A and B are shown apart, each in its own frame.
Chain A
């Protein structure tokens, strides 16, 4: 359950079947080389299978976009499959496919990333194609006009026709007043309507440059050989000045906020969120705040023995499902978010009270050693399980680097999580999960709303 909202935030060029869920902290153990043009290359050998995952991460995403241009990062991601001066539209995909490869791309709040997974001998082809579209993308107006329609369809199916997704979108816009995290990654409908191919060209020439990217390779490869290949294909692309952005923060919230969303739904839904810092905004690895918040998220929602499921679902029977999401790796201050569907015959208000009662308890009483140890066992095991996916090992490195942290912090973060004390958890819950810092969004099914 935990983290499901993080996945909801990603928009991909091809609808993908997520066979693996995001895992807990990994142990980045990678080799780094920075090319003269500023491209950072990270290589993590994983010799279990004769495959290689190649990912390129650009430091641009939904949160970089100014008002009126929301969604431009994601539409550009789609256009990246439309060819260069030497490749036709979709030829990239055809070549990778003929090699037995898989490829896709995804846009988040803080990044745009492209990846290929291939039998290991084909890494060079991936580099050749990926480096081409880093600097030589073709913007054909007719292709753009079709593709922006595809994106509008994507928005319709993933947001507009999903009452809970609409509620999430409305929630974010209510919880943030200033931060660009208030905007949906896919873009507001009116911005998509107004978008022109020139917007994409200018976005591309601003942010797609080697010095604004991280190339991550995980697989059965020799780091030195990967560095040579990277130099060969990416080394000749000149660095460029990357525009600074007006990156508004969010001023402290002084009073609770509440919205209602009415939609043709069947089941009510609650979102309850609190503004919280993240590792990147605490500016200091010594600050234990984000780690304590992450441990709090586990205590509340790490498995069915955690407090929300155990109390609200099993004991009280008040909620049919509950979840918590918190992303300590975000680039900017984010939201510690609770989500729930009430049980049959129960109200959203009752669920909200029950969650707040759990928060009150955690802010007043320290958790037992046994409970804390249980969470630490999950964190330790999760780190091992993550090694089973080359893709997520790469994802972890790319995220850390792209979101303004250093990839080397992966191991450090793991240690810090394990060092969190019961008193620190109590303190962050008391400090951040308080009424005046809260935003509530309630989804009221429209048939109910009529009555």
Chain B
């Protein structure tokens, strides 16, 4: 569930669109004494408040010999602090109905607390939340348990053809780059992680200078400042981590077939895509919407699913990250028709890259993206997700307010040009996992 949360967050960051100033003229931003960047959106309609702390401490920060370290640190912080054990921590949250959750991806480790906004309730939950993030004690017994749980998680993932395909795809595409391994790590490296490794990782990355805090909900600006302090003041200032290494893409087409006892073959086709700050972000976003991003009516869905009934799920996606995340075309189909589906979808991509979209498609995509803006900021939860994207990737505060304009400005030539520069079907990595 947590993994899903993170995937969805990345999805939302990707989908972040447009601008209605209503909610976002009011992002209040300040930096705490220890360097944490705070983003606050005041909403009073529901007596609740959401806090999200994000650190640049995802699996891209794992040392190569300790893959999975970031994930274990993320899971261990709620297992004990200097004054509480794990049960006491959970009880503190549950007894006031507060919901604590955490997640980690390749770029980010995030911690979330949702609570009623009543002062007495917040008093109980916030101090514990702050203590969990800044003063975890990493007790040895809990560590063994969490390690075993991760090892089971790794095994469990191997029983899903989709997860295996994803693991193989990332491993081959990113090779020795830190995006290569799953945030869960690998069996061998997870087995080697020691308590001291957790302490060191926490000390280096869980620091004010490396933290963003998003607050959305029923607080006054004065209250938000006080609560922000209670959450992050315990972090030392520390320093910004150094940039993660550059991504080198593949120079040639690679095909990997993995045998798996499933009825379907899972196909992942793609390459290194774009970073979050890429100048081609907007044309690629709009273009991908047409190619494979928009439900049943994208070109890939039309060609593979609607015209031929070959797949239930077929889509393409960019996953912009700090460094270029992958561009992936993903589908699953009965193994005996995998070759057909692979050929057809590659042809759809090739044709799109060569010819670009037509004017009607472009207008339809833009009107969906722009017209859909109010939906994407219609709840505290969605606002928090969007603001976290702005905070974590250092986008301008007016990012949402200018987004619709930038979508509107995307031209046919820009889409076609961006795809021709950035999407190279002749150099795709193609991963097939199944019994075919």
Q: A: which residues have CB within 8 A of B?
A: 1, 4, 13-15, 17-21, 48-51, 81, 89-90, 93-94, 97-102, 117-119, 145-154, 156-157, 160-163, 264-267, 302-306, 309-310, 313-314, 317, 320-321, 341, 343-344, 370, 373-374, 377-382, 384-385, 387-390, 445
- Contact assessment for B8 and A18 in the assembled complex, using a CB-CB cutoff below 8 Å: yes
In the complex, what residue of chain A is closest to B152 when comparing beta carbons? A320
What 8 new A-B contacts, CB under 8 Å, besides A90-B306, A148-B309, A320-B152? Answer: A156-B262, A157-B162, A303-B93, A304-B94, A314-B145, A374-B91, A374-B94, A384-B47
Given known contacts A153-B312, A344-B152, A374-B94, A17 and B7 CB-to-CB distance under 8 angstroms: yes
- Contact assessment for B97 and A378 in the assembled complex, using a CB-CB cutoff below 8 Å: yes
With beta carbons under 8 angstroms apart, the residue of B95, B148, B155, B297 that contacts A266 is B155
- Contact assessment for B379 and A49 in the assembled complex, using a CB-CB cutoff below 8 Å: yes
The stretch from B173-181, B318-326, B369-377 touching chain A is: B369-377
Residues of B within 8 A of A384 (CB): 46-48, 116
CB of B332 within 8 Å of the partner chain: yes
- Contact assessment for B297 and A147 in the assembled complex, using a CB-CB cutoff below 8 Å: no
Residues of A within 8 A of B95 (CB): 305, 370, 373-374, 377
Residues of B within 8 A of A320 (CB): 148-149, 152-153
Residues of A within 8 A of B294 (CB): 97
Residues of B within 8 A of A119 (CB): 371-372, 374-375
- Contact assessment for B305 and A150 in the assembled complex, using a CB-CB cutoff below 8 Å: yes
In the complex, what residue of chain B is closest to A392 when comparing beta carbons? B379
**Contact code string B370-392 (vs A, CB < 8 Å = 1, else 0):** 11111101111110010000000
Given known contacts A93-B297, A303-B93, A305-B91, A157 and B7 CB-to-CB distance under 8 angstroms: no
- Contact assessment for A48 and B145 in the assembled complex, using a CB-CB cutoff below 8 Å: no
| Distance, CA A148 to CA B307, complexed state (A) | 13
CB of B226 within 8 Å of the partner chain: no
Interfacial residues of chain B within 128-186, with CB under 8 A of chain A in the complex: 142, 145, 148-149, 151-153, 155-156, 158-162
Residues of B within 8 A of A93 (CB): 295-297
Interfacial residues of chain B within 290-334, with CB under 8 A of chain A in the complex: 294-297, 302, 305-313, 332-334
A47 to chain B, nearest CB (A): 8
Residue among B97, B116, B149, B381 with max Cβ neighbours from chain A (10 Å): B97
CB of B114 within 8 Å of the partner chain: yes
Residues of B within 8 A of A317 (CB): 145, 148
Given known contacts A150-B311, A344-B151, A98 and B364 CB-to-CB distance under 8 angstroms: yes
A217 to chain B, nearest CB (A): 15
In the complex, what residue of chain A is closest to B264 when comparing beta carbons? A156
- Contact assessment for A267 and B155 in the assembled complex, using a CB-CB cutoff below 8 Å: yes
Total number of residue pairs linking A and B with CB closer than 8 Å: 218
Residues of B within 8 A of A97 (CB): 294-295, 297, 364, 368
Q: How many residues of B contact A (CB 8 A)?
A: 79
CB of B196 within 8 Å of the partner chain: no
- Contact assessment for B332 and A157 in the assembled complex, using a CB-CB cutoff below 8 Å: yes
Residues of B within 8 A of A314 (CB): 86-87, 142, 145
Interfacial residues of chain B within 372-426, with CB under 8 A of chain A in the complex: 372-375, 377-382, 385
CB of B123 within 8 Å of the partner chain: no
Residues of A within 8 A of B255 (CB): none
B159 to chain A, nearest CB (A): 5
- Contact assessment for A102 and B372 in the assembled complex, using a CB-CB cutoff below 8 Å: yes
Residues of A within 8 A of B145 (CB): 313-314, 317, 343
With beta carbons under 8 angstroms apart, the residue of B7, B263, B313 that contacts A15 is B313
With beta carbons under 8 angstroms apart, the residue of A265, A304, A374 that contacts B159 is A265
In the complex, what residue of chain A is closest to B308 when comparing beta carbons? A146
With beta carbons under 8 angstroms apart, the residue of B94, B296, B375 that contacts A14 is B296
A115 to chain B, nearest CB (A): 12
| Distance, CA A264 to CA B47, complexed state (A) | 48
Residue among A13, A81, A90, A303 with max Cβ neighbours from chain B (10 Å): A303
- Contact assessment for A81 and B296 in the assembled complex, using a CB-CB cutoff below 8 Å: yes
| Distance, CA A320 to CA B160, complexed state (A) | 18
The 9 closest A-B pairs by CB, nearest first: A100-B371, A381-B97, A146-B309, A149-B309, A100-B372, A49-B378, A304-B90, A154-B312, A303-B94
With beta carbons under 8 angstroms apart, the residue of A99, A145, A266 that contacts B156 is A266
Q: List 11 A-B contacts (CB under 8 A).
A: A13-B296, A17-B7, A50-B374, A90-B297, A98-B368, A100-B369, A102-B372, A306-B94, A374-B91, A384-B116, A385-B48
In the complex, what residue of chain B is closest to A344 when comparing beta carbons? B148
| Distance, CA A265 to CA B333, complexed state (A) | 20
Residues of B within 8 A of A13 (CB): 296
- Contact assessment for B379 and A390 in the assembled complex, using a CB-CB cutoff below 8 Å: yes
Given known contacts A102-B375, A382-B97, A266 and B312 CB-to-CB distance under 8 angstroms: no
- Contact assessment for B94 and A15 in the assembled complex, using a CB-CB cutoff below 8 Å: no
- Contact assessment for B375 and A343 in the assembled complex, using a CB-CB cutoff below 8 Å: no
Residues of B within 8 A of A310 (CB): 87, 90
- Contact assessment for A381 and B116 in the assembled complex, using a CB-CB cutoff below 8 Å: yes
- Contact assessment for B94 and A390 in the assembled complex, using a CB-CB cutoff below 8 Å: no
A160 to chain B, nearest CB (A): 5
Given known contacts A51-B374, A100-B375, A388 and B312 CB-to-CB distance under 8 angstroms: no
Residues of B within 8 A of A341 (CB): 152, 156
Residues of B within 8 A of A98 (CB): 364, 367-368, 371
Residues of B within 8 A of A19 (CB): 8, 11-12, 381-382, 385
